[in-house]
Amino acid sequence: MKLNVVGTSPPMKGSGEKTTGTAEYTVDMKLPGMLYAKILRSPHAHANIKSIDTSKALAHPGVKAVVTHKECRILYTVTHGSAREYGLDTKVRYYGDKVAAVAAVSEKAAEEALELIDVDYEVLPAVFDVEKAMEPNAPVVHPERDDCDGNILDVSVQEWGDVGEGFMKSDIVIEKRFTTQRVCHCAMEPHAMLASWDGDGNLTMWSSEQTAYMIRDSLAEALEMPRSKVRVIVPPYVGGGFGGKYESSEKIVLAVLARKAGRPVMLRLSREEVFHTTRTRSPCIFETKTGVMKDGTLVARYIKAIVDIGSYAWGAIISSRAASYMTLTYKCPHIKYEGYGVFTNTPPSGAMRGYTSTPIHYAMEAELDEIADTLGVDPSEFRLKNQLHVGDIIPVNGLPVSSSGLRECILRGREAIGWENRQKTKGVEGGAKKRGIGMACYSHYSPMLRSHERSVGNAVLKVNVDGSFHLLLGVPDIGQGLRTIMAQIAAEALGGRLDEIDVTLADTAVTPWGTTTAASRSTMETGGAVKMASEDMKNRLLELASNTLGVPSEDLEAVDSRVICVSNPDESMSFSELLNHPDVFHTGDNVIVTKATYNVPTFIPPYGAAFADVEVDTETGMVDVLRMVAASDIGRAIHPESVKGQLEGGIQMGIGYALTEELKLDPETGAPLNNNFLDYKLLRSLDMPEMEVILVEPVDPNSVYGVKGIGEMAVIPMAPAVRNAVYNATGAVVRDLPITMERLLKALKS
């Protein structure tokens, strides 16, 4: 198939606005009469609120409304039933939990008013350690919930084959314990949301989000309103999401506050609030046990996972879903997963890029290198030997692998990193600095990972009389370029011009239903609907042209906004000429709107391999990542440059996860210790290594133009690749992330 637009890298839609600084984000919005909100947050990690006195705050001349649990003890649910939280409760469950909210004429006035609210707390014992939280006499974070066993919300046991039998059969069985830490998304744009009620009782909320529809549904249910009376709009520009922008529960508080104030109210979270109150990546403990044959054949894998979901249940899903990721990359007849989602009095954890996959991939891929070492085999050969091939059945969904570029990723990645130097560089004589090369593979989510899941994309397309188009989609662009990608698919499928396709996203009043821009699903899911709606549009145009030109529609094709007769290319007309033709114009036949619903037909597995070349200073424990190679099977790149950008971003996030990032809490109080960019060590551009991104495009036969998701995959293998490179360089075994200088020095010494 010859493609004209798909596979090219034109300027991204919105790049003009972004580069000139005119792009308007949610934080920039202003409405007439708009007030500003601030939230009073708990100074205790666990306490009952005995009383709240807001009278002094209300007397502040700038204050228009205050809400507490008296107005706002409203249950708010997002994503799944167990992820629920009161807007404002009579209890606080972590340091920073919401206590009250103020609407005032300025953010300064609102902040002043927070100081004037008197809260009488009954401080309760708190638990910060997830294993302690599982003990019988631990303080219980949610005694009111009947779906918990103490602090254990979720127990998930999944098994394929029989691991007991597997371990019996194995030549070697290895047991390890890996831990991962609490990290933050660090999206450039802080969370911001603006609520406005009209005089007819309709609520409109603009919010920097990864989903309009889920927020709309959550608000409508919480407020007991029909969905038609709640409109959620995600503004065209969202400064990053990474999973952190749909679960935050301030929205229900803001809605109630704005209703009480009778004016639009804007809430912009401070960077400090974003760090520790808007979900974090769940800290995890993985106890792994793996059985292999001496020839390197994987026989049995068992992982027990303890997931610290923090004080609210948003992250609970990780525990049950993580099992899937044990089944996607390697053949292994016996697999068992046992996961626990456990409450603690810490900031709630939740979705983050590679949601349930990034932590468990770290454990699995780090463990593989230790096994390879034990077996004395090359870790890349070990992986190649065990990989799933096209046609192999994937245990979690019973579906065959429909395409795989994994082998090519490993081979090309090895070549690009200089894998042959791996042993040479290891422990170079004559200095404290050691070079090492490591790798890790991944697969991850795609729609239909579990075949009972719903994977529905929708698109509406309408044509203007000049042959330009408007595309309407329910999902937002969170900065990754969805608008451009979708317009490229439309331009390709209908034979139109990319720059004449306008895209409106994520407005529940006007766009068709769409799920989240999350889980690396949009290009596959919504892109499928865009292709269908565009093909329908093209066919309708060709049919009209067939009547007008007197040529059978099978003999017509659409290219560059023209209908062309294939057998006689001189015979052609522009879309504009067609749509203005009196026969077509007069009857309204030129007012074409197409709509498509697309179901992703099967699981489309993404694969990839990352390689890291590091230098370790064994005297200080400092790790310097010199070079990273990311080879990714992305099926087909719609916009190759943007895919590369996503992979480079994944490298940045992955190195941070491996080496520098962790949101630290005071072990006594649970207060955040580094919730700011000075103390939280995010990699800056100057910290970045040389990067090489390799796109492997096997073109999956079951997906739109062969695409696979990439948004999350970009980050998944990076941390274990770095960790394995450090291991390769030094032989020191660090199993806990991040690999701080202190930890590494300690390991080097032992």
Window contacting a second copy (CB under 8 A); options: 59-67, 104-112, 221-229, 338-346: 221-229
- Which runs of consecutive H residues, i.e. helices, occur in 298-421? 317-321, 358-375, 379-386, 406-417
Report the C-alpha gap between 272 and 386 in whole angstroms: 45
Total chain residues near a second copy (CB under 8 A): 65
Per DSSP, the residues of 646-664 read HHHHHHHHHHIIIII----
Look up residue 527 and give its amino acid: G
22 near a second copy (CB under 8 A): yes
464 near a second copy (CB under 8 A): yes
Distance of closest approach, residue 465 Cβ to a second copy, in angstroms: 7
14 near a second copy (CB under 8 A): yes
Tell me the per-residue interface mask from 296 to 325 with a second copy, x by CB under 8 A, - otherwise: ------------------------------
21: CB partners within 8 A, 6+ apart: none
Distance of closest approach, residue 343 Cβ to a second copy, in angstroms: 29
- Buried-exposed string 3-25: b where 16+ CB fall within 10 A, e elsewhere: eebbebbeebbbeeeeeeeebeb
204 near a second copy (CB under 8 A): no
Window contacting a second copy (CB under 8 A); options: 67-75, 312-320, 508-516, 717-725: 508-516
260: CB partners within 8 A, 6+ apart: 65, 67, 71, 103
Distance of closest approach, residue 700 Cβ to a second copy, in angstroms: 21
513 near a second copy (CB under 8 A): yes
Nearer to a second copy, 14 or 640 (CB): 14
Distance of closest approach, residue 452 Cβ to a second copy, in angstroms: 8
Q: How many angstroms from the chain centroid is the CA of residue 596? A: 25
220 near a second copy (CB under 8 A): yes
Provide the sign of the torsion angle of the four alpha carbons 183, 188, 190, 196, taken in this order. Answer: negative
DSSP designation for 291: E
Report the C-alpha gap between 668 and 416 in whole angstroms: 48
Window contacting a second copy (CB under 8 A); options: 250-258, 458-466, 563-571, 742-750: 458-466
Nearest to 203 by CA among 191, 194, 211, 213: 194
Nearer to a second copy, 23 or 745 (CB): 23
Among 3, 509, 559, 566, binds a second copy (CB under 8 A): 509
498 near a second copy (CB under 8 A): no
Axis-axis angle for helices 640-655, 718-730 (nearest 10): 50
DSSP designation for 139: P
Distance of closest approach, residue 529 Cβ to a second copy, in angstroms: 9
Distance of closest approach, residue 200 Cβ to a second copy, in angstroms: 4
- Cis peptide before 738, with omega less than 30 degrees from 0? yes
Mapped onto helix, strand or coil, the DSSP state of residue 515 is coil
- Buried-exposed string 279-292: b where 16+ CB fall within 10 A, e elsewhere: bbbbbbbbbbbbbb
End-to-end CA distance of the chain: 58
Window contacting a second copy (CB under 8 A); options: 8-16, 91-99, 135-143, 405-413: 8-16
512 near a second copy (CB under 8 A): yes
Please, how many CA atoms are within 13 Å of residue 36, restricted to the half-sphere of its CB? Answer: 19
202 near a second copy (CB under 8 A): yes
Among 460, 549, 713, 714, binds a second copy (CB under 8 A): 460
228 near a second copy (CB under 8 A): yes
Nearer to a second copy, 587 or 685 (CB): 587
Within 10 angstroms of residue 58's Cβ, the number of other Cβ atoms is: 15
DSSP designation for 237: B
Binders of a second copy among residues 541 to 600 (CB under 8 A) are 585-589, 591, 593, 595, 597-599
Distance of closest approach, residue 116 Cβ to a second copy, in angstroms: 29
Binders of a second copy among residues 594 to 653 (CB under 8 A) are 595, 597-599
201 near a second copy (CB under 8 A): yes
Binders of a second copy among residues 472 to 491 (CB under 8 A) are 472
456 near a second copy (CB under 8 A): yes
Sort strands 690-696 and 622-633 into parallel, antiparallel or unpaired. Answer: parallel
Nearest to 279 by CA among 663, 651, 683, 678: 663
Distance of closest approach, residue 679 Cβ to a second copy, in angstroms: 32
16 near a second copy (CB under 8 A): yes
Report the C-alpha gap between 685 and 402 in whole angstroms: 37
Nearer to a second copy, 561 or 632 (CB): 561
Nearer to a second copy, 220 or 323 (CB): 220
Beta-strand runs (E) in 547-672: 556-559, 562-565, 572-574, 593-599, 607-617, 622-633
231 near a second copy (CB under 8 A): yes
29 near a second copy (CB under 8 A): yes
162 near a second copy (CB under 8 A): no
Nearer to a second copy, 540 or 664 (CB): 540
Distance (Å) of CA 84 to CA 78, 130, 212, 222, 348: 7, 20, 18, 10, 11
DSSP designation for 308: E
295: CB partners within 8 A, 6+ apart: none
Within 10 angstroms of residue 41's Cβ, the number of other Cβ atoms is: 18
Window contacting a second copy (CB under 8 A); options: 358-366, 381-389, 453-461, 604-612: 453-461
Per DSSP, the residues of 491-509 read HHHHT--GGGEEEEE-BTT
Nearer to a second copy, 23 or 699 (CB): 23
Distance of closest approach, residue 586 Cβ to a second copy, in angstroms: 5
Distance of closest approach, residue 456 Cβ to a second copy, in angstroms: 3
Distance of closest approach, residue 590 Cβ to a second copy, in angstroms: 8
Among 58, 140, 416, 465, binds a second copy (CB under 8 A): 465
Window contacting a second copy (CB under 8 A); options: 29-37, 59-67, 111-119, 392-400: 29-37
Window contacting a second copy (CB under 8 A); options: 166-174, 276-284, 332-340, 465-473: 465-473
507 near a second copy (CB under 8 A): yes
Distance of closest approach, residue 105 Cβ to a second copy, in angstroms: 15
77 near a second copy (CB under 8 A): no
DSSP H/E element including 175: strand 172-180
Residues that bind a second copy (CB under 8 A): 13-24, 28-32, 198-202, 217, 220, 226-229, 231, 452, 454, 456, 458, 460, 462, 464-466, 468-470, 472, 499-502, 504, 507-513, 585-589, 591, 593, 595, 597-599
